[in-house]
Amino acid sequence: MKILFTLCFLFPLAALAQTTLSGKILDDKGEGIPGANVVLEGTYDGGTTDVEGKFQFTTTEQGKHVLVVSFVGYKEYRQAVALEGSPIVVDTRLEETINELEVVTINAGAFTASDASRRTVFKALDIATTAGATADIAGALNTLPGTQKVGESGRLFVRGGDSNETRTFIDGMLVLDAYGPSAPNTPSRGRFLPFMFKGVSFSTGGYSAEYGQALSSVLALDSKDEAAMTRTDIGILSVGADVAHTQAWDGGSMAAKVQYTNIRPYFGLINQRIDWKTAPASIEGIGAFRQKVGKQGMVKVYGNFNHSDYSLYNHDINDYNHLTVYDLVNNYRYLNGFYKTVLNEKWNVRGGLSYTSIENNNWTGLDHTVETQKGAHAKTVFEGSLSDKAELRTGVEVIQRNYDQVNDLNAGQDYTLSFNEVITAGFAEMDLYTSNAFVMQGGLRSEYNSLNKKISIDPRLSLAYKTGKSSQIHFAYGSFRQTAKNELVRIDHQLGAEKAEHFILNYQIMENNRTLRVQGYYKRYRDLVKYVNGDPMQLANTGDGYAKGLEFFWRDNRTVRNLDYWVSYSYLDTQRDYLDSPYRATPSFASAHNFSVVTKYFFTDVRTQLGLTYSYTSGRPYNDPNADTFNGGKTPYYSDLSVNVSYLPKPYIIVHLSCTNVLGRDNIFGYEYSTSPDAQGTFNSRPIRQPAPRFLFLGIFITLSKDKTTNQLPTL
């Protein structure tokens, strides 16, 4: 170039031989693209297109060159030009690339939360700051449409599905039993702390062929990448304490946390309906290792162990003074290894290995039961693009589970129920974009189950179309299957998988921090396990059912400064004929109307966030053995107003106070009946209530780091 420049200087005549290049750069709709960079490759010469997509520039370069037009979101355009002094006109249309920001997305039924992405409806941080959720993942997701609030369980019940129909995956790897142990009819908490995750994808139906063994819903959690800074976090809680340390280095980090929870002092202060002998206490250890490998590779190892125990007195329904001691010791281990690496420009591979071990050691009176479940999951997924408009995802996995229940009964007749299941699966799924406005996803999943020796094939299909700049419509269909509950398979190993088909139609408009989502669905259940002639020891896949509903979601954090709120409403109509149902009936966990409003307001002057959550659930069916109709009873409605306050006295200290059900409503979740009728032939009952009307929590979180401005807020 310098030589050329010098030549021009030496021969002034040559400098006169200027060439003018001009033209118009349009998009595929024929509209001008402003701001595109037009370059004479290898030179400084070029121009930028104006509002109409026009450009013009002159050059003193001579001979053959290449003109390159580029703009973010479009494919680069290249054309050979011969610069000989006569004007050159280049008019062209740029082809759209499939652009992350503009493209239509597959999202029917899914709420994706990630702080990094700009298209999320729900954020990872929302889990920590939603009042009433007490930083529990399921608690926060229960404020989204598609879920049914089942207060005595604390688990996720999705679109007429039982809680075991929602499966949890961490970095794509299956988790067996994602909830901690809880006393009968008291809510359990998720085992995984929300702060570990950078992304949460909660799908209420129609999910990818990558996920199997889930009938209703998938909760996919993406763990955080390497930590950026070294820090120590201390938490002092009204129910325990925790301490965590993170050590960061270039390209990697290591973190460890120890948490001790003991609710005994709290229950000593605030009267509980449960007659505890010893209230729950647990100790938990968490370790995480992250290391970047090569340019874009990543290895993650995560593990936790948990030991918890409690014991309580069970009072007989007919005679309060007749009581049995119930004692539980639970041990849990989870280890997850994840890797991800780029194979070449177009393909990458990810996968991992997970291992779960659960042991429940339980005494009911003098009967002793030990239930153990050990599972391993291995998976490898290849993802890549076949062309710039077709993406393929394909993988294989093996899920192995070993279940044992050893019953040592006081009256003798000890017995063991066990099974060992291996599921081998493969899947392939393709995304085809015809433009940024239309995408089609088709997939197939095949499984082989070693217990019933059956091969299955399930199709999935999704179509999404962008109806406007920020709105889209989406249809999804899929066939899903899941091995029946352990309690059933341990009795009959030959049982077939239970099946569900989802049909979902969804409309979403998302503009400037406001989101509106409306969806309707129909779900068909087949091959549900049913007792033959009412005998729970004789099982067959003869049950069926359906669920249909309409859901509404509105979120707005723009209209009022410092106020963020969302409103969810779900209507559900579901019936199923399964287990002991004599015919199709609405199951006791299903409620027709679920409504919730979540608000968060930040008071800038006092650096305090106030959160309020209101939830309403219409009455749920229960079965009264004294009545003729199965599941004919109906509980009163459920309602709860929860409040939380977070205050930052210093940049590195957070004080967090929360209270559930501040109004103290006595919610009734159902009724328990005695196993045999009394002298008058009546089955006596008692209501299932909240263990206490309110739950109060106080926590002080301190972070020690080099810059003193980091706090635990993003991790709470």
Partner 1 sequence: MKLAMFTYRLLVLLTLVLPAAVMAADDKYTETMQKNINIVYTATAPAELQNAVNTLERIGAAEKSKWEPFYYASFGYVMMANKESDASKKDTYLDQATAALAKAQALRPNDSEIVAMEGFIHMIRINVDPATRGQQYSGLATQNFRKAVSLNPENPRALALLAQIQFGTAAFFGSPATEACATNTQALEKFETFKPADALAPRWGKGMAESMKEKCK
Residue among 166 and 703 whose Cβ is closer to partner 1:
703
Is residue 557 within 8 A of residue 565, CB to CB? The reply is: yes
Q: How far is the CB of 40 from partner 1 (least distance, A)?
A: 8
Give the CA dihedral 169, 173, 179, 180, nearest 10 degrees: -150
Residue among 51 and 269 whose Cβ is closer to partner 1:
51
Q: How far is the CB of 225 from partner 1 (least distance, A)?
A: 12
Is residue 578 within 8 A of residue 543, CB to CB? The reply is: yes
Q: How far is the CB of 53 from partner 1 (least distance, A)?
A: 12
DSSP element (H, E) containing 489:
helix 486-489
Residue among 1 and 455 whose Cβ is closer to partner 1:
1
Residue among 35 and 536 whose Cβ is closer to partner 1:
35
> From CA 298, how far away is CA 276, in angstroms rounded?
46
Residue among 47 and 187 whose Cβ is closer to partner 1:
47
Q: How far is the CB of 57 from partner 1 (least distance, A)?
A: 10
> From CA 27, how far away is CA 102, in angstroms rounded?
14
| Distance (Å) of CA 220 to CA 154, 297, 354, 405 | 18, 21, 14, 29
| Distance (Å) of CA 212 to CA 244, 289, 419 | 34, 28, 20
Which two tokens mark 375?
């599972």
| Distance (Å) of CA 576 to CA 361, 479, 542, 581, 619 | 33, 18, 11, 8, 18
Is residue 36 within 8 A of residue 49, CB to CB? The reply is: yes
Residue among 593 and 607 whose Cβ is closer to partner 1:
607
Q: How far is the CB of 123 from partner 1 (least distance, A)?
A: 5
Residue among 129 and 356 whose Cβ is closer to partner 1:
129
Residue among 73 and 442 whose Cβ is closer to partner 1:
73
Applying CB under 8 A, which residues contact partner 1?
1-2, 5, 34-35, 37, 39, 41-48, 50-51, 72, 101, 115, 118, 123, 125, 228-229, 512-513, 557, 562, 564, 602, 604, 607, 609, 646, 648, 650-651, 706-707, 709-711, 713-714
Q: How far is the CB of 406 from partner 1 (least distance, A)?
A: 48
**DSSP characters over 425-476:** EEEEEEEEEEETTEEEEEEEEEEEETTTTEEEEEEEEEEEEE-SSSEEEEEE
Q: How far is the CB of 101 from partner 1 (least distance, A)?
A: 6
Residue among 538 and 562 whose Cβ is closer to partner 1:
562
Q: How far is the CB of 329 from partner 1 (least distance, A)?
A: 39
Q: How far is the CB of 68 from partner 1 (least distance, A)?
A: 9
Backbone conformation region of residue 439, classed left if phi is above 0, alpha if psi is from -120 to 50, else beta: beta
DSSP state of 260: E
Which two tokens mark 285?
């250890």
Is residue 166 within 8 A of residue 156, CB to CB? The reply is: yes
> From CA 304, how far away is CA 308, in angstroms rounded?
13
